[in-house]
Structure 1
Amino acid sequence: MTRVLLLWPGCEGPASGNFGVPQLVLMATHARRETGAHVEIVDLAAERYFGPVDVAKLFEGWDVIAFSVYSSFDHLKCMALAELARQQSPDAVIMAGGYHASARPTEQVFDGSPYDVCVVGEGELALVEVIESVEGGAPLRQTILASNPVTDLDSLPPSDWSYLDRYRPIARKVASQAQVYLSRGCPFDCAFCMERAKREVSWRSLSVERAVHEVVSLHRYLDLRGWTLYVADALFGMKKSWRREFLAALAREQVPVDKLWLLIRVDLVEDEDLRLFADANCGLGFGLESGDPQLLATIRKAGRLDTYLDRMKEVSAWARTHDVPWGANIICGHPGETPGTMERSAAYMRELFLDPKGVTGFLSVDPFRLYPGSPIDTERRQWEQRFGTVFHRPSWWDDGDQEFLAEWVDPSAELDWRTRTRLQHELYGPILRRIEDNFVYRGPAREYFLRAVRDQVQQSEPRTRVHYLGRYYAWLRYLGFREKAEQLMRDDAKLTELTRRRRVAWRPTVAERAQLAPDDVLLDVIERVPRERFVPVDQIAESTRDEAIHLDDSGAATVSAMHAYARSFSLLEIEAGMTVLDLGGGTGYGAAILAELVGEAGRVISVELDPALSARARALCPSNVDCVCGDATDPARWEVDPSTIDAVTVGFALPSIPASWSSALRPGTRLAVPVGEGDAQRLQLVTVGGETRTLEPVRYVPMRRTVPARAAPTKARAKARLPLVD
């Protein structure tokens, strides 16, 4: 008997958080009926619940291994898993299918690829063909199977949910909702959508009886009480007669889900539909895309665009009458977008969602992402020429930092990525924050939808915004534009404000770790000094946290955690007018804090061994800081009369305090010094000619006498692939 493994890798895209993998269940059910093969489904997202996955064991003993490359975010992960599968089952036929594989089949099957077969479009008939090739003794190799859609969905067997028996006991622990498919295809031609990657776009549905059976059978198997059931069709209920007959039949079944969630076009919906949706306990998702008619035409949002936005307002009113929850998704930064289209769209959304009568809907705001197989992907040159669109990383799925690169697009000559990001949050953030107070839906899934509202608000918070701006500047550096990145970053007033707000959020933690009162003025200074300027440009988000940051790959130099500076400077009792020596000053972050504390009448001398770091400190620090390049352990290299120094702070650990320091410094000078090696380091507060207090354990970089060699940037380095960002 042929053994077949269908593998779901755990999706990073819109299918994440769902339980059921219904497309694989249907493929398995159909393959068993047609070939008698032994088929198993492995859901790696669910498998993680049981502990580490033994990949070597997972891929042993199969004749066919099929990977669902559902979205482009899954491409690298599936390719890596397929290579492991090839090692463990060298004779197996390894397949790739799904949206991404359909859009880029030649990137799946090529000389040296772990895949033998790429399936374009739907997989049921293709899987049977592969199994039969194995059973016939001539397994398919180096093959791209053209689209072969199922024209009559009722010809497929009903889903056998028992393929998910392993995961049923943990379903509610690993997922937030169940999912099911009732139809296929979407004949519309929206420019951003990758539905056409599957080639067959005609709308086909199960019969009403079969569609209701799929829902009821899943409930009997899984017990959907208290759950949301997501109908994952690309377009639900395109045909009015089918839609209304199905909704009426589903209402009669009274399946006890909290809510059945589905995606439908707003221009298909009428008042009668809202009544039926209410009776069937449905919530509606609309791909509204924009509130600006000009951009809707650019997007090629087919249909009656002259009445499209008016219909959305009508649907909102009908939904309020029938207490039907709904959500509208819009795309910010679609190619052709301008500041004007964004402003007009936001004005429409304010009218729609802040209606004084309340709404039962919520708004989802997503950045444009370039998906392979979409019309924009195939017509990229035309968009570049027509609008001045810049796709900075058009094959982003080949890089590790997919989260950012997928959306790194300048929509038009009038709107670059940074401006789009800023306007998105400035225009839509205030709307998103007010929706919860205006949300009048009171049905059983109210909390489910409020979580969606709050999730959107989180996306406009400083933490998320700093993360994406950080990735932007990081990629400028990776591509060889470090100086440009640093200059843009210094001039970016919005970034400066966002990072300051993140430091404000960290203030209680810094205060506790530094043993300071929450209102200590030293914490005010730490909030004000733009720490992100003193770290590598690819560490902007990290700079807002209370953690040490390496300044180079050697790890020999760091910008210490914020609380480390606060603790040392508070122990030294820094005051206005003092002269402070900062030894091991790095890029000058500590010196910049000290400069504010000592004021214009004071002076800071920052001594750093590394010429590159010292030069950067010189460029970043204010005028009352003198940056000296030299051996910080040698008083002769300090370039200051030691007798004028009031306090010394040290940014590296010493085995012991050099006797030359005590000889050079005047009595009464205070020093905050990390002393010891490794885990034995302790912070010491030393008064020259007086007492030495040994305080808490600390962890600083050790003293160094040489500067590590740095490799010159190369083109290969600029193309380096990065790990996924946390």
Structure 2
Amino acid sequence: MHNNNSNLLFIIPGFFFIEEYQKLLYYNDIPLGTIQLSSFLKELVKVITNIIDLRVEGEKEKELGVAKPKEDNFKKAFLKILEKNNIQDYNNIGINCYTSFQYFYTDLIAKILRKEFPKVNIIVGGYHPTGVPEDFTYKNSPYDVIIRGEAEMVLLNLLNSNKLNKIEKKKQEPLILSSDILTDINSLPFPDYELYLKRYPLKDKFKFEIYNSRGCPYQCTFCSDNYAFRTYSFEKFQENFEKLTLIVEEYNKKNPKIGFADQSFNRLSFNERILDYLIENEYNKKFVFSCQSRIETVASNIKLIDKFKKSKMIVGYGFETATNLLLREMKKTNKAVKYLEDTQRILKEYKDGSEIYCRLNILVGFPGENQKTFNDTVKFIEKYAIHEDIQISPTFFTNYPNVFVYENMDMYEKKYGTEFLKEWWKLPSNPFKNAVPTKLSHNYSLKELILDYKEKYINILKEFKRQGFAELVTWKRFYNKWYKEL
């Protein structure tokens, strides 16, 4: 047994109350932030790390993956996994509550850990603890440390200072910690893929991603990525990218894709250099790539689309809506006419029968949405975006607790008659459904929206021939069921 004072077991929570459609969306990504933390700490501290992904374990151990858990059965299954991973070797456990959808799951495993292993330090971080730390500071809270924001420097200081050995287990509230020092992202080592993949070598399933920035320079009112924006150097990108290609070739031979996980592929000169690099080094002959970008960014240099196609880069454009009202409310643009014209110009470039398609992201159900705004967006799509090389990707607005909307619900209630479920992540039912406003505007309910959504978008989605039929069936089944529940 090794010295466990500096050892850290990372746990990735699963999701309760969700359905098959959400599993398609949330169960194939590698927890990049967590394995980045692992490599960072290993480089600077004498620490041994391990990881348990309860999303994957839930596929093998039924009680960990059920929608509605029976606490005793869940506890037995969870303890079995912990024992298999030598829980006694770890004095520190870090839970990544990445999204509010995982709050219920996070809280249950933390309570089990505290009861069964009273001496262990329980550390929680992620978007939800960052946005709502008070959700983790209730009476008899099982948590010892709550990390707000970026975790690298906080964990480094905790391990270096020996503070974790001095935490009083009988204290009233957990420590809430954040770092005043931004992580120098160009100094970060390559993520610890070995830690994850030696444990979960699931060939051809994972979505492999790379960052060339952190945070986002924009202030969209629906987005939870509020970390300070800064970028990697090209040399750092190149170093990480070349290492990642070797991993993808080994683990995703049948489906060699690499996604640029940044919120927006938005620095024109830098990103054009990346595209040139992919083309010149013929990575486009081995891999397919994907990224997110903004309408105005690409419209300012429309020739960039040629390089997107040559490099096999599938771009998801954050279009969101075709209406001036909602574009302003989302803080996407104050120039709706030009925005729509730019979108048309971009979409036209994809109608030439090329091998690479694009994706047009639509945000449905934003506060203030009404039947007219919904129909105006659908009409725009039907007129300009129906094509076999344009994938329409509609998603419902999620009222995350650390976004502008959640912090200003009263304003939307007064302005539009929007109705929300406050603290929806604490309700014992599907959080993906609870996160959507129950009423969008004075005369437009959620039930009316879902009816319009499933009837209008099913025909639009069918036009994109590259989408699997099974996915479309799962999509339709989910929204039909949701409509009947309301």
Which interval holds the TM-score relative to the shorter structure?
Answer: 0.7 to 0.9
Residue of structure 1 in register with 2:341 after alignment? 310
Residue of structure 2 in register with 1:186 after alignment? 216
- Whether contact under 8 Å (2:248, 2:256) holds in the other structure is no
Residue of structure 2 in register with 1:118 after alignment? 146
Cα distance change on mapping 1:184 and 1:305 into 2, 3 Å:
farther
- Whether contact under 8 Å (2:128, 2:401) holds in the other structure is yes
Deviation at 1:155, TM superposition (A): 1.4
**Aligned pairs for 1:335-374 within 5 A:** 335-354=367-386, 358-374=387-403
Residue of structure 2 in register with 1:450 after alignment? 467
Residue of structure 1 in register with 2:327 after alignment? 296
What are the Cα deviations for residues 321-380 of structure 1, in whole angstroms up to 9, with x where unaligned? 4543211121222101111111111110101222xxx44111122222211111000011
Structure 2 unaligned spans of 5+: 62-76
2:174 to 124, 131, 142: 142
Over the residues paired in the alignment, what is the CA RMSD in angstroms? 2.5
- Whether contact under 8 Å (2:36, 2:192) holds in the other structure is yes
1:221 to 228, 234, 247: 247
Cα distance change on mapping 1:18 and 1:7 into 2, 3 Å:
same
- Whether contact under 8 Å (1:7, 1:41) holds in the other structure is yes
Residue of structure 2 in register with 1:132 after alignment? 160
Cα distance change on mapping 1:430 and 1:73 into 2, 3 Å:
same
Residue of structure 1 in register with 2:450 after alignment? 421
Partner of 1:25: helix, strand, or coil?
Answer: helix
Deviation at 1:168, TM superposition (A): 5.2
Amino acid at match of 1:18: N
What are the Cα deviations for residues 87-123 of structure 1, in whole angstroms up to 9, with x where unaligned? 3332222111111121111112333111111111111
Distance 1:427 1:85 in 2: 47
- Whether contact under 8 Å (1:109, 1:116) holds in the other structure is no
Residue of structure 2 in register with 1:201 after alignment? 228
Q: TM-score when scaled to structure 2? A: 0.84
Deviation at 1:257, TM superposition (A): 4.9
Deviation at 1:290, TM superposition (A): 0.9
> Are residues 1:242 and 2:270 paired?
yes
Indicate the percent of aligned positions where both proteins have the same amino acid. 22
- Whether contact under 8 Å (1:3, 1:39) holds in the other structure is yes
Residue of structure 1 in register with 2:190 after alignment? 158
- Whether contact under 8 Å (2:14, 2:54) holds in the other structure is yes
Partner of 1:169: helix, strand, or coil?
Answer: coil
Partner of 2:412: helix, strand, or coil?
Answer: helix
Cα distance change on mapping 1:68 and 1:171 into 2, 3 Å:
farther
Higher-RCO chain (CA-CA 8 Å, sequence separation at least 6)? 2
- Whether contact under 8 Å (1:188, 1:302) holds in the other structure is no
Partner of 1:245: helix, strand, or coil?
Answer: helix
Residue of structure 1 in register with 2:10 after alignment? 6
Cα distance change on mapping 1:230 and 1:341 into 2, 3 Å:
same
Deviation at 1:185, TM superposition (A): 0.9
Amino acid at match of 1:311: D
Deviation at 1:135, TM superposition (A): 6.2
Partner of 1:300: helix, strand, or coil?
Answer: coil
What are the Cα deviations for residues 432-476 of structure 1, in whole angstroms up to 9, with x where unaligned? 23333xxxxxxxxxxxx523x8735653x3x3333112332xxxx
Partner of 1:29: helix, strand, or coil?
Answer: helix
Deviation at 1:25, TM superposition (A): 1.4
Distance 2:60 2:473 in 1: 33
Partner of 1:229: helix, strand, or coil?
Answer: strand
- Whether contact under 8 Å (2:152, 2:183) holds in the other structure is no
> Are residues 1:432 and 2:458 paired?
no
Residue of structure 2 in register with 1:467 after alignment? 481
Cα distance change on mapping 1:136 and 1:419 into 2, 3 Å:
closer
Partner of 1:319: helix, strand, or coil?
Answer: coil
Distance 2:50 2:25 in 1: 20
Cα distance change on mapping 1:407 and 1:19 into 2, 3 Å:
closer
Distance 2:33 2:98 in 1: 10
Distance 1:349 1:138 in 2: 59
Cα distance change on mapping 1:419 and 1:165 into 2, 3 Å:
closer
Residue of structure 2 in register with 1:39 after alignment? 49
Amino acid at match of 1:465: Y
Residue of structure 2 in register with 1:602 after alignment? none
- Whether contact under 8 Å (1:29, 1:160) holds in the other structure is yes
Distance 2:164 2:416 in 1: 54
> Are residues 1:177 and 2:207 paired?
yes
Distance 1:18 1:465 in 2: 22
Deviation at 1:35, TM superposition (A): 1.3
Q: TM-score when scaled to structure 1? A: 0.58
Deviation at 1:50, TM superposition (A): 5.4
Q: Find the structure with the greater CA-based Rg.
A: 1
Distance 1:193 1:136 in 2: 33
Aligned residues: 446
- Whether contact under 8 Å (1:177, 1:227) holds in the other structure is no
Residue of structure 2 in register with 1:285 after alignment? 316
- Whether contact under 8 Å (2:14, 2:58) holds in the other structure is no
Distance 1:78 1:136 in 2: 21
Cα distance change on mapping 1:368 and 1:435 into 2, 3 Å:
same
Residue of structure 1 in register with 2:289 after alignment? 260
Distance 2:149 2:203 in 1: 28
Partner of 2:89: helix, strand, or coil?
Answer: coil
> Are residues 1:89 and 2:117 paired?
yes
Partner of 1:308: helix, strand, or coil?
Answer: helix
Amino acid at match of 2:174: Q
> Are residues 1:382 and 2:398 paired?
no
Structure 1 unaligned spans of 5+: 437-448, 473-726
Partner of 1:220: helix, strand, or coil?
Answer: helix
- Whether contact under 8 Å (2:150, 2:183) holds in the other structure is no
Distance 1:390 1:43 in 2: 35
